[in-house]
Amino acid sequence: MRSLLILAGLAVVTAAASAQLGDLLKGGIKIPGLDGALKREALSTSIKDAMPALRFLDRYNPDRLDDFFALPANTQGRRKITPGVYTMDIESFCLRAGHRAPFGGDGFLYGPFKGLRADVLQSILRNAPAHPDVPQKNVQLLLWAILSQAKFRDLDNTLKVTAATLLKPEDIVKLEASFLEEIPSNMFDKAFAGLPSEVRAALEAESTMRGMFGRTGLNYDDFERIAMPQGEAPKSDVPAGRWSFVKGGMFIRMYRLGTYRHGRIDVMRPRAATWTRDDLGRIVKWDDGSGNSVSVEYAAEPSSRAGGNGLIGYAFKKIRIQSGSQVAESTGGWTFLGRARGKGKDVSGPISSTELDARANDVKFWVEDFDRLIKSFGRKGIKPEAIDPIDVQHFEQGVRASFGEFNNAPEWVVRTWGRLCESIFAPLDGLNDPTLAQEDPTFDPSDVVGLPGYTGAQRAGFTLRRYRDH
């Protein structure tokens, strides 16, 4: 009965949309064909829109992640992110037909929804959790229909009901009033001549699918064969586990797990901690206020300076990691202060030029990522020194090296170190708009377009529904 009522309502919406389209045609506006396909992408988010990747976090792989679904929700159903690290295994979706799925070990960068129908696509993903009875395959077919800009009236009743369940009537009017015609397959070579292969693959797949939505007797597998070519995309330069910074002082990383329908997103909100420095500006103690700390003593011998690159190196005498009554100690190693500005050379002291240059090269990547991050937020008046984590990165790298990368270290040491790593980036909360209310930030996976590092691979969308192997 509910489906009949929805379809009856849709008839009214469709009639209004058809009248609206008729007015456009009378005004001399042509329905776009190839030109529309090239200029009016339903979703245009590309790698150029990605938030800066944080390569310096590639080593950070927390040993314990809590269940994202256990977090409290606000009145809009968005989860409030308290300090910690959380994970969710959720439904994911293909947001670009005609492209191969990324390797299982590849990661994604974070991008916003952009394009002609970005708002409608995002609404589908955002509203799906409230309707667990709508199958994941129906959601994916509706996404493909919108991405290919198929005629809404050509969709079968099941997809029309799905649309009416997940979208507002005004969204459906948009879909009915704006569509593209199918380009005959025997015209592909002429229509798409000179286009990059990955662009042509997407346009051909979308055109073919537009025609398929107007035919009967087709099932999900038929659409999947067009949208998901066999084989895997070339290896991406975005590794699994690469973190992106998002508004609210949070970090996320995204994966695909075995199939394009199964995604995982980890969310980290750094825990605040106290960093104590001496008169030279060197870090002497980290303390999270919960009984976990790392303290160091520095050697008395002369420091090592890198004349050309701005780094000043200081040798450790003793390092002490403590959690409650448990203590672990190490000797040796070093840390630096400053940003590397060039290759430089060793001037004096116990640190070799080879080791110094290797560390300086790491710092170069940290600085590049951090500066891009500040620029991407477009905030004026930010004092980098107030939120710059570079010196703390030096400290983390030096202590970790002194402890042999924590290989075979007790579990409590690794856990304590994870707490320190999380707190390193708490100052980046200074990038957020200070006028925002001082409360826990929220996150929903439908905020995110997952962008692969290879342009010929799929974009990914996510919804806050637990993945179940269907």
Does 283 lie in the same domain as 216?
no
- Residue whose structure tokens are 């799925």: 101
In a domain, 180, yes or no: yes
Does 286 lie in the same domain as 265?
no
Dist CA 351 CA 426 (whole Å): 30
Does 199 lie in the same domain as 69?
yes
Q: pLDDT for 162-198, tens place per residue?
A: 999 999 999 999 888 766 666 666 666 666 666 777 7
Q: Which two tokens stand for residue 128?
A: 């799906």
Q: What letter would DSSP give residue 73? A: B
Confidence tier at 364 by pLDDT (50, 70, 90): confident
Q: pLDDT for 54-108, tens place per residue?
A: 777 887 888 789 999 999 988 888 999 998 899 999 999 999 888 776 555 568 8
HSE toward the beta carbon, residue 171, CA cutoff 13 A: 18
* Cα dihedral across residues 338, 342, 343, 349: positive or negative: negative
Helical H runs in 71-196? 118-127, 136-147, 157-166, 169-177, 188-191
Q: Which two tokens stand for residue 77?
A: 């159903």
Q: pLDDT for 123-170, tens place per residue?
A: 999 999 999 999 999 999 999 999 988 889 889 999 999 999 999 999
Does 185 lie in the same domain as 75?
yes
In a domain, 376, yes or no: yes
Does 406 lie in the same domain as 321?
yes
Does 153 lie in the same domain as 37?
yes
Buried b (16+ CB within 10 A) or exposed e, 142-175: bbbbbbbbbbbebbeeebbbbbbbbbeeebbbbb
In a domain, 416, yes or no: yes
pLDDT higher than threshold 50 for residue 10: no
Does 297 lie in the same domain as 252?
no
Does 283 lie in the same domain as 231?
no
Confidence tier at 354 by pLDDT (50, 70, 90): low
- Give the contacts of 249 (CB within 8 A, at least 6 positions apart): 269, 270, 426, 428, 429, 431, 432, 441
pLDDT higher than threshold 60 for residue 297: yes
- Number of helical (H) and strand (E) elements in the chain, helices listed first: 13, 18
Question: Of 410, 387, 400, which is closest to residue 275 (Cα–Cα)?
Answer: 387
Does 281 lie in the same domain as 265?
no
Does 176 lie in the same domain as 83?
yes
Provide the whole-model pTM. Answer: 0.81
Lowest-confidence region among 94-98, 203-207, 272-276, 281-285: 203-207
In a domain, 430, yes or no: no
The DSSP code sequence of 149-171 is T--GGGS-HHHHHHHHHHS-HHH
pLDDT higher than threshold 60 for residue 5: no
Does 406 lie in the same domain as 371?
yes
In a domain, 163, yes or no: yes
Domains of the chain: total = 2
* Per-residue pLDDT at 180: 67
Q: pLDDT for 36-50, tens place per residue?
A: 444 578 899 988 888
Confidence tier at 432 by pLDDT (50, 70, 90): low
In a domain, 444, yes or no: no
In a domain, 103, yes or no: yes
Does 296 lie in the same domain as 237?
no
Query: Which structural domain range is residue 333 located in?
Result: 274-424
Confidence tier at 469 by pLDDT (50, 70, 90): confident
Residue with the bigger pLDDT between 469 and 208: it is 208
In a domain, 440, yes or no: no
Calculate what percentage of the chain has a pLDDT beyond 70.
72
